[in-house]
Amino acid sequence: MTRPEFDPDDPLFRPISIRQAMELTRRSDDTINRWIKDGHLRVIHLKDPPEDALIEREVVDTALQKRKDAHRGRPRPKRAEATGDAA
């Protein structure tokens, strides 16, 4: 996945904590850490306060891509056919 260029006008280009990323994506810390390990998310090291952070835009984009990938190739559910009964 190509990382977006930094855009200071994009409100999602802000640092968020791993906990915030978990809440935003409804994923576990194991999943967020796997995305980091696999190179999908960059960790930035903040000095004040000292903590590791992620870029919110990358978290959102990765979560959306993972969701698309999970649904790719699955058969679409069949629509219920109309019974012809008028209500």
> Where along the chain do its domains lie?
15-68
Report pLDDT digits (tens) over 51-81.
Answer: 888 988 899 999 999 988 887 776 666 766 6
Closest to 66 (Cα-Cα) out of 42, 36, 35: 35
Q: In what order do the strands lie in the sheet with 15-16?
A: 15-16, 50-55, 43-47
Q: How many CA atoms lie within 13 A of 65 on its CB side?
A: 12
Percent of the chain surpassing pLDDT 90: 38
**Is pLDDT at 10 greater than 80 in this prediction?**
no
Q: Dihedral sign, CA of 81, 84, 86, 87?
A: negative
Kindly report the pTM of this predicted structure: 0.66
3-state helix, strand, coil in the chain (%, to 5): 40, 15, 45
**pLDDT given for residue 12 in this prediction:** 75
